[in-house]
Amino acid sequence: MARFVITGTGTDIGKTVFAAGLCGLVGADYWKPVQSGLAGNTPNPGRTGHLPDVHNADTGRPHAARVAPQHLPRPDTDAAEIARLSGARLHPEAWLLREPLSPHRAAELEGIEIDPGALTPPDADRLVIEGAGGVLVPVTRHVLFADLFAEWQIPVVLVASTGLGTISHSLTALESLRARSVPVHGVAFVGEENEDNMATIGQLGAVKVLGRLPRLAPLERATLAAAMRDNFDPEDFR
């Protein structure tokens, strides 16, 4: 099965674009467990902050990812960008939050509590899961995204910049993942060519360098697909 978690060394690294490219490269579904920053979209009619629960018949726990494949993303979400750039089958977010903040704080401001136990990945053979921000972003006051990754035991691809500061940020993220026994599949870089930074992270981090995605203009489905084919080996994601 080609199932991967996409996380980053921080915010605005390029995770969503890489996730879209990977979905297109391997024909994977996409799921983002928690999406924040939807203040202008009034995303949650009815019960504030939480989509209607979809229950897993086996466990009875909320399992938003088991809904039908015709899910249409809400505007200005990462899922909408994934749809634009890859056409991947989407699984709906478990939580949609209004404020552009870490999920734990965005949820608090809406007076709701995220249940990490309800964040169960969908049963898809080919799946790309995108976390929020960096490795240690809080889901709640007690659970970080890295803790979820450890529970899921799905291989993680760390998305990192090629620029200044990336060595420390990347090595810190890798140490945080390994301290929790998270399986690390490799590092994917986004940005201008910087062979020494990439090689240094690969060497000191004892991690596979999967490739580098350049910044694309225009950023469209065709240009992204071509860049992924040119810079990444599909066999690395089988």
> Rg of the chain's alpha carbons, rounded to an integer?
17
Q: What is the CATH number of the domain that holds 154?
A: 3.40.50.300
Q: How confident is the model at residue 64 (pLDDT cuts 50, 70, 90)?
A: very low
Q: How confident is the model at residue 47 (pLDDT cuts 50, 70, 90)?
A: very low
What does the pLDDT look like over 87-125, one tens digit per residue? 999 999 999 999 999 999 999 999 999 999 999 999 999
Taking a C-beta distance cutoff of 8 angstroms, is the pair 43, 74 a contact? yes
Instruction: Please tell me the distance from the alpha carbon of residue 170 to that of residue 167, in angstroms, as a whole number.
Output: 5
What does the pLDDT look like over 209-229, one tens digit per residue? 999 999 999 999 999 999 999
pLDDT for 46 equals 27
Exactly one of 3, 15, 32, 91 is catalytic; which is it? 32
Structural domain range at position 197: 2-237
Higher local confidence (pLDDT), 45 or 37: 37
Q: Is 205 left (phi over 0), alpha (psi -120 to 50) or beta?
A: alpha
Provide the whole-model pTM. Answer: 0.88
- Assess whether pLDDT exceeds 50 at residue 43: no
Taking a C-beta distance cutoff of 8 angstroms, is the pair 40, 76 a contact? yes
Q: Tally the domains of the chain.
A: 1
Residue 235's nearest CA partner among 218, 211, 216 is 211
The overall average pLDDT reported for the chain is 89
Percent residues over pLDDT 70 in the chain: 87
pLDDT for 70 equals 52
Q: Is 15 considered catalytic here?
A: no
What does the pLDDT look like over 149-203, one tens digit per residue? 999 999 999 999 999 999 999 999 999 999 999 999 999 999 999 999 999 999 9
Phi/psi for 200 (5° steps) reads -65, -45
pLDDT for 63 equals 35
Q: How confident is the model at residue 71 (pLDDT cuts 50, 70, 90)?
A: confident
